[in-house]
Structure 1
């Protein structure tokens, strides 16, 4: 059973567009960053992909931008797996700003297992299907209470 995975970042000047907030393309990079950090934490990152000769690649994204983020803000990038089958895994994302307890972004990605050499679809090996387990239905992935700055006051 997998758990939610959090990556804390601070918005940098390079993330800001001409309108003064985080550019929408940056959110896509953050999706990749937190997914990569999560699979590394699960012990099945790029090095293991190369050894196993197959990998997970993004085939479909759905995103929802809810509020703007600005330079210097601390953001929690959260991801988790919510479904898996022989060829695909399905990953969810929520980006949260603790300062005002706001969800800034929500998204999901459908990932396909492919042979690295050919790019052709491949059934997930047991190594993949064991590592990429969905979170428990009893876990609320939208609970950010551990980041609530008012809880300690």
Structure 2
């Protein structure tokens, strides 16, 4: 398994994508369900970037699963627009991590969507709650208080979707 102890553990993470025709609903803008799917996509890309992703979950025999989402739709997104899916970890304890999201349109830095998810650590074989191993608590640290996730003038590790 990748040694994450020597790396920066967590920071704001950006995933850039272009809105595709399949993201659009009958009203001509990105469908609400797509935003929730994007929450999963950017969270998965972020944990992979941190070196503690899905393959490591299997190896460690425990995983993080979503238990609660809060979402706020602010503005519509349209086909062809470039969108930044931004996420970061805001808190952690023995059983839960808390992830924040803000999705914004690149050309005008307009916030389209905000959300957060509470993730619980579970044992894969049983689905029962499990205290996070040191691998998890080291990798999934909240961002520094000095880091402003709403500063759109800076890109963070950007991955193209």
Coarse TM-score class (shorter-chain normalised): over 0.9
Q: Is residue 2:31 matched to residue 1:27? A: no
Partner of 1:130, secondary structure, is helix
Tell me the equivalent position of 2:132: 124
Runs of 4+ in 1 over 2 A off after TM superposition: none
1:57-93 deviation line (CA, Å, top 9, x unaligned)? 0000000000000000000000000000000000000
Partner of 2:142, secondary structure, is coil
TM-score (norm 2): 0.90
Tell me the equivalent position of 1:150: none
Q: Is residue 2:62 matched to residue 1:54? A: yes
Give the counterpart of 1:8 among 9, 16, 37.
16
Return the offset for 1:45: 0.5
TM-score (norm 1): 0.94
Tell me the equivalent position of 2:94: 86
Pairwise CA RMSD of aligned residues? 0.8
Counting matched residue pairs gives 147
Structure 2 unmatched runs, 5+: 1-8, 156-161
Return the offset for 1:2: 1.3
Partner of 2:90, secondary structure, is strand
1:118-144 deviation line (CA, Å, top 9, x unaligned)? 000000000000000000001000001
Partner of 2:15, secondary structure, is strand
Return the offset for 1:146: 3.3
Q: Distance in 2 between matches of 1:34 and 1:101?
A: 18
Tell me the equivalent position of 1:151: none
